[in-house]
Structure 1
Amino acid sequence: MQAGDNKSYDDINVTPMVDLYLVLLLIFIIMTTAGVQGVKVNLPKAGAPSKMEGPKMQAITVDNSGNIKLNAEPTTLADLEAKLGAVKAKTPEAPIVIRGDTATPYQTIMDVLDTVGRVGFSNIGLATKPKK
Protein backbone atom coordinates (compact mmCIF):
# COMPACT_ATOMS: atom_id res chain seq x y z
CA MET A 1 0.00 0.00 0.00
CA GLN A 2 1.33 3.39 -0.90
CA ALA A 3 1.03 6.54 1.15
CA GLY A 4 -1.27 8.27 -1.38
CA ASP A 5 -3.89 5.48 -1.40
CA ASN A 6 -5.52 6.40 1.91
CA LYS A 7 -8.68 7.87 0.38
CA SER A 8 -11.98 6.36 1.38
CA TYR A 9 -14.27 4.47 -0.96
CA ASP A 10 -17.49 6.30 0.00
CA ASP A 11 -18.20 7.42 -3.57
CA ILE A 12 -20.71 5.30 -5.45
CA ASN A 13 -20.46 5.14 -9.21
CA VAL A 14 -24.07 5.74 -10.40
CA THR A 15 -23.36 5.54 -14.13
CA PRO A 16 -24.33 1.85 -14.49
CA MET A 17 -27.47 2.50 -12.45
CA VAL A 18 -28.51 5.42 -14.72
CA ASP A 19 -27.91 3.22 -17.77
CA LEU A 20 -30.15 0.58 -16.26
CA TYR A 21 -32.89 3.15 -15.58
CA LEU A 22 -32.71 4.44 -19.15
CA VAL A 23 -33.00 0.92 -20.57
CA LEU A 24 -35.99 0.21 -18.32
CA LEU A 25 -37.61 3.51 -19.36
CA LEU A 26 -37.10 2.66 -23.02
CA ILE A 27 -38.66 -0.78 -22.56
CA PHE A 28 -41.59 0.78 -20.69
CA ILE A 29 -42.19 3.33 -23.47
CA ILE A 30 -42.07 0.68 -26.20
CA MET A 31 -44.42 -1.67 -24.34
CA THR A 32 -46.88 1.13 -23.53
CA THR A 33 -47.15 2.35 -27.13
CA ALA A 34 -47.52 -1.22 -28.40
CA GLY A 35 -50.43 -1.79 -26.03
CA VAL A 36 -52.26 1.40 -27.03
CA GLN A 37 -52.82 0.28 -30.62
CA GLY A 38 -55.31 -2.32 -29.49
CA VAL A 39 -55.56 -6.02 -29.09
CA LYS A 40 -58.16 -8.15 -30.82
CA VAL A 41 -60.46 -9.77 -28.31
CA ASN A 42 -63.59 -11.84 -28.59
CA LEU A 43 -66.15 -9.59 -26.91
CA PRO A 44 -68.85 -11.15 -24.75
CA LYS A 45 -72.46 -11.19 -25.87
CA ALA A 46 -75.11 -9.17 -24.09
CA GLY A 47 -78.87 -9.31 -24.03
CA ALA A 48 -81.01 -6.99 -26.09
CA PRO A 49 -80.44 -3.39 -25.00
CA SER A 50 -83.25 -1.68 -23.22
CA LYS A 51 -85.09 1.00 -25.14
CA MET A 52 -83.26 4.26 -24.67
CA GLU A 53 -85.16 7.48 -24.74
CA GLY A 54 -83.49 10.25 -26.64
CA PRO A 55 -83.49 12.04 -29.95
CA LYS A 56 -83.49 9.83 -33.00
CA MET A 57 -80.88 10.65 -35.60
CA GLN A 58 -82.19 11.79 -38.97
CA ALA A 59 -80.13 10.86 -42.05
CA ILE A 60 -80.33 12.93 -45.20
CA THR A 61 -78.71 11.30 -48.22
CA VAL A 62 -77.95 13.05 -51.50
CA ASP A 63 -76.86 10.77 -54.36
CA ASN A 64 -74.70 11.75 -57.35
CA SER A 65 -77.72 12.70 -59.47
CA GLY A 66 -79.07 15.10 -56.85
CA ASN A 67 -81.87 12.90 -55.47
CA ILE A 68 -82.56 13.61 -51.79
CA LYS A 69 -83.69 10.99 -49.27
CA LEU A 70 -84.69 11.52 -45.65
CA ASN A 71 -84.14 8.26 -43.74
CA ALA A 72 -84.15 6.29 -47.05
CA GLU A 73 -87.47 7.86 -48.09
CA PRO A 74 -87.25 9.88 -51.33
CA THR A 75 -88.16 13.54 -50.98
CA THR A 76 -87.70 16.88 -52.68
CA LEU A 77 -85.99 19.94 -51.28
CA ALA A 78 -89.37 21.66 -50.72
CA ASP A 79 -90.83 18.61 -48.93
CA LEU A 80 -87.65 18.20 -46.89
CA GLU A 81 -88.31 21.43 -45.02
CA ALA A 82 -91.84 20.34 -44.10
CA LYS A 83 -90.72 16.86 -43.00
CA LEU A 84 -87.87 18.27 -40.93
CA GLY A 85 -90.29 20.74 -39.36
CA ALA A 86 -92.42 17.80 -38.19
CA VAL A 87 -89.33 16.09 -36.78
CA LYS A 88 -88.31 19.34 -35.04
CA ALA A 89 -91.74 19.57 -33.40
CA LYS A 90 -91.36 16.04 -31.95
CA THR A 91 -87.65 16.04 -31.06
CA PRO A 92 -86.07 19.51 -31.17
CA GLU A 93 -82.55 18.24 -30.42
CA ALA A 94 -82.49 15.43 -32.97
CA PRO A 95 -79.07 15.08 -34.63
CA ILE A 96 -78.98 15.41 -38.42
CA VAL A 97 -76.38 13.58 -40.54
CA ILE A 98 -75.97 14.61 -44.17
CA ARG A 99 -74.43 12.03 -46.48
CA GLY A 100 -73.38 12.96 -49.99
CA ASP A 101 -71.75 10.98 -52.78
CA THR A 102 -68.33 12.16 -53.95
CA ALA A 103 -69.87 13.10 -57.30
CA THR A 104 -72.80 15.01 -55.74
CA PRO A 105 -72.99 18.63 -56.91
CA TYR A 106 -71.78 20.91 -54.12
CA GLN A 107 -74.76 23.23 -54.61
CA THR A 108 -77.20 20.44 -53.73
CA ILE A 109 -75.39 19.77 -50.44
CA MET A 110 -75.43 23.50 -49.67
CA ASP A 111 -79.17 23.67 -50.43
CA VAL A 112 -79.79 20.79 -47.99
CA LEU A 113 -77.61 22.46 -45.33
CA ASP A 114 -79.50 25.73 -45.86
CA THR A 115 -82.85 23.93 -45.47
CA VAL A 116 -81.72 22.18 -42.27
CA GLY A 117 -80.51 25.52 -40.89
CA ARG A 118 -83.79 27.26 -41.72
CA VAL A 119 -85.75 24.61 -39.83
CA GLY A 120 -83.59 25.34 -36.79
CA PHE A 121 -81.48 22.25 -36.20
CA SER A 122 -78.11 22.93 -34.64
CA ASN A 123 -76.74 19.40 -34.22
CA ILE A 124 -75.65 18.74 -37.83
CA GLY A 125 -72.92 16.43 -39.09
CA LEU A 126 -71.46 15.54 -42.47
CA ALA A 127 -70.66 11.85 -42.96
CA THR A 128 -67.24 11.02 -44.44
CA LYS A 129 -64.96 8.02 -44.84
CA PRO A 130 -61.38 8.05 -43.55
CA LYS A 131 -58.62 8.11 -46.18
CA LYS A 132 -56.82 4.82 -46.65
Structure 2
Amino acid sequence: MAASTDDDFVADINVTPFVDVMLVLLIIFMVTAPMMTEGLDVALPKVETSEVLPTEDDHIILTIKSNGALYLDEYETGLADLPEVLTTRVKNAGRQLFVRADKDVPYGMVMHVMDRVRGAGVSDVGLVTTSLPDDASGAETSGAAASGSKKDNLQ
Protein backbone atom coordinates (compact mmCIF):
# COMPACT_ATOMS: atom_id res chain seq x y z
CA MET A 1 0.00 0.00 0.00
CA ALA A 2 1.30 3.40 -0.89
CA ALA A 3 1.48 6.11 1.76
CA SER A 4 -1.01 8.87 1.32
CA THR A 5 0.13 12.49 1.03
CA ASP A 6 -1.91 13.42 4.13
CA ASP A 7 0.55 11.56 6.40
CA ASP A 8 3.65 13.35 5.11
CA PHE A 9 5.69 15.27 7.65
CA VAL A 10 5.93 19.03 7.02
CA ALA A 11 9.43 20.33 7.69
CA ASP A 12 8.63 24.03 7.26
CA ILE A 13 8.64 26.26 10.33
CA ASN A 14 5.69 28.59 10.65
CA VAL A 15 7.19 31.91 11.85
CA THR A 16 3.96 33.90 11.72
CA PRO A 17 3.07 33.39 15.43
CA PHE A 18 6.65 34.28 16.38
CA VAL A 19 6.51 37.51 14.36
CA ASP A 20 3.13 38.39 15.88
CA VAL A 21 4.45 37.96 19.42
CA MET A 22 7.58 39.99 18.65
CA LEU A 23 5.54 42.85 17.19
CA VAL A 24 3.32 42.93 20.27
CA LEU A 25 6.40 43.00 22.54
CA LEU A 26 7.91 45.78 20.44
CA ILE A 27 4.77 47.88 20.76
CA ILE A 28 4.63 47.30 24.54
CA PHE A 29 8.29 48.32 24.86
CA MET A 30 7.77 51.45 22.73
CA VAL A 31 4.80 52.53 24.87
CA THR A 32 6.34 51.83 28.28
CA ALA A 33 9.95 52.99 27.68
CA PRO A 34 9.19 56.75 27.79
CA MET A 35 7.25 56.29 31.02
CA MET A 36 10.23 54.66 32.72
CA THR A 37 12.62 57.51 31.92
CA GLU A 38 10.39 60.33 33.07
CA GLY A 39 11.40 61.76 36.42
CA LEU A 40 9.81 64.23 38.74
CA ASP A 41 9.18 67.62 37.18
CA VAL A 42 11.44 70.15 38.91
CA ALA A 43 12.61 73.55 37.64
CA LEU A 44 16.32 73.30 38.45
CA PRO A 45 18.48 76.38 38.99
CA LYS A 46 20.68 77.30 36.02
CA VAL A 47 24.44 77.78 36.46
CA GLU A 48 27.37 78.55 34.17
CA THR A 49 29.76 75.85 35.32
CA SER A 50 28.49 72.35 35.94
CA GLU A 51 29.42 68.74 35.43
CA VAL A 52 27.47 65.88 33.89
CA LEU A 53 25.45 63.79 36.31
CA PRO A 54 26.79 60.21 36.40
CA THR A 55 24.63 57.66 34.64
CA GLU A 56 25.50 54.67 36.82
CA ASP A 57 22.83 53.19 39.05
CA ASP A 58 24.93 53.54 42.20
CA HIS A 59 23.36 56.83 43.27
CA ILE A 60 20.07 57.99 44.78
CA ILE A 61 18.36 61.27 43.90
CA LEU A 62 16.52 63.22 46.60
CA THR A 63 14.08 65.67 44.99
CA ILE A 64 12.60 68.70 46.76
CA LYS A 65 9.61 69.99 44.80
CA SER A 66 8.44 73.61 44.92
CA ASN A 67 5.58 72.67 47.27
CA GLY A 68 8.08 71.17 49.75
CA ALA A 69 7.34 67.51 48.97
CA LEU A 70 10.34 65.17 49.22
CA TYR A 71 10.94 62.24 46.88
CA LEU A 72 13.71 59.67 47.17
CA ASP A 73 14.04 58.60 43.56
CA GLU A 74 10.33 58.41 42.61
CA TYR A 75 8.97 57.52 46.05
CA GLU A 76 7.55 60.24 48.28
CA THR A 77 8.94 60.44 51.79
CA GLY A 78 8.42 62.71 54.75
CA LEU A 79 10.99 64.95 56.41
CA ALA A 80 10.66 63.00 59.68
CA ASP A 81 11.35 59.65 57.95
CA LEU A 82 14.25 60.99 55.87
CA PRO A 83 17.19 60.11 58.18
CA GLU A 84 16.06 56.49 58.59
CA VAL A 85 15.42 56.02 54.86
CA LEU A 86 18.75 57.64 53.92
CA THR A 87 20.65 55.49 56.39
CA THR A 88 19.14 52.35 54.90
CA ARG A 89 19.16 53.18 51.18
CA VAL A 90 22.23 55.42 50.88
CA LYS A 91 24.70 55.10 53.76
CA ASN A 92 24.43 51.34 54.41
CA ALA A 93 24.23 50.59 50.67
CA GLY A 94 27.36 52.66 49.93
CA ARG A 95 25.60 54.84 47.37
CA GLN A 96 26.02 58.52 46.57
CA LEU A 97 23.21 61.02 47.13
CA PHE A 98 22.28 63.83 44.76
CA VAL A 99 19.86 66.56 45.84
CA ARG A 100 17.58 68.11 43.20
CA ALA A 101 15.79 71.15 44.57
CA ASP A 102 13.33 73.25 42.60
CA LYS A 103 14.62 76.80 42.13
CA ASP A 104 11.54 78.13 43.97
CA VAL A 105 12.21 76.12 47.14
CA PRO A 106 13.25 78.46 49.98
CA TYR A 107 16.90 78.23 50.97
CA GLY A 108 15.86 77.43 54.55
CA MET A 109 13.98 74.33 53.39
CA VAL A 110 17.00 73.09 51.43
CA MET A 111 19.24 73.62 54.47
CA HIS A 112 16.73 71.84 56.71
CA VAL A 113 16.81 68.84 54.36
CA MET A 114 20.63 68.99 54.18
CA ASP A 115 20.71 68.95 58.00
CA ARG A 116 18.63 65.76 57.97
CA VAL A 117 20.95 64.29 55.33
CA ARG A 118 23.99 65.04 57.50
CA GLY A 119 22.15 63.67 60.54
CA ALA A 120 21.73 60.37 58.69
CA GLY A 121 25.52 60.19 58.28
CA VAL A 122 25.57 60.79 54.52
CA SER A 123 28.62 62.90 53.69
CA ASP A 124 28.98 62.41 49.92
CA VAL A 125 26.27 64.73 48.56
CA GLY A 126 25.99 66.39 45.16
CA LEU A 127 23.67 69.25 44.23
CA VAL A 128 21.94 68.92 40.86
CA THR A 129 21.60 71.95 38.58
CA THR A 130 21.12 72.54 34.88
CA SER A 131 23.31 74.40 32.40
CA LEU A 132 22.54 77.83 31.03
CA PRO A 133 20.76 77.91 27.64
CA ASP A 134 23.96 78.70 25.71
CA ASP A 135 25.32 75.25 26.67
CA ALA A 136 24.72 72.88 23.77
CA SER A 137 24.32 69.76 25.90
CA GLY A 138 21.08 70.73 27.64
CA ALA A 139 21.45 67.63 29.81
CA GLU A 140 20.83 67.44 33.51
CA THR A 141 24.07 68.12 35.29
CA SER A 142 25.40 68.24 38.79
CA GLY A 143 26.97 71.39 40.09
CA ALA A 144 29.05 71.95 43.18
CA ALA A 145 29.12 69.29 45.85
CA ALA A 146 28.36 69.98 49.47
CA SER A 147 31.27 70.45 51.81
CA GLY A 148 32.91 67.25 52.93
CA SER A 149 32.03 65.36 49.77
CA LYS A 150 34.41 63.87 47.25
CA LYS A 151 34.48 66.44 44.45
CA ASP A 152 36.73 64.19 42.37
CA ASN A 153 33.88 61.69 42.02
CA LEU A 154 31.73 64.30 40.27
CA GLN A 155 34.13 64.84 37.38
**TM-score (normalizing by structure 1):** 0.54
Q: Secondary structure at the match of 1:129?
A: strand
Query: What is the aligned partner in structure 2 of residue 57 from structure 1?
Result: 59
| 1:120 to partner: Cα distance | 1.1
Give the paired residue count: 78
The whole-number CA distance in structure 2 between the counterparts of 1:87 and 1:72 is 13
Give the alignment of 1:8-87 within 5 angstroms.
Answer: 56-87=58-89
The whole-number CA distance in structure 2 between the counterparts of 1:88 and 1:59 is 10
* CA RMSD after TM alignment: 1.8
The whole-number CA distance in structure 1 between the counterparts of 2:57 and 2:130 is 24
Render the CA deviation track for 1:32-77: whole Å, top value 9, x for unaligned.
xxxxxxxxxxxxxxxxxxxxxx982111000111111111111111
The 3 A distance-change label for structure 1 pair 72 and 55 is closer
Q: Which has the higher strand share?
A: 2
Runs of at least 5 residues in structure 2 that lack an aligned partner in the other structure:
1-55, 134-155
The 3 A distance-change label for structure 1 pair 118 and 68 is same
Runs of at least 5 residues in structure 1 that lack an aligned partner in the other structure:
1-53
RCO (CA 8 Å, sep 6+): is it higher in 1 or 2? Answer: 2
Query: What is the aligned partner in structure 1 of residue 150 from structure 2?
Result: none
**TM-score (normalizing by structure 2):** 0.46
Query: What is the aligned partner in structure 1 of residue 119 from structure 2?
Result: 118
| 1:118 to partner: Cα distance | 1.0
Q: Is the 8 A contact 1:62 1:68 kept in 2?
A: yes
The 3 A distance-change label for structure 1 pair 122 and 72 is same
Q: Is the 8 A contact 1:60 1:68 kept in 2?
A: yes
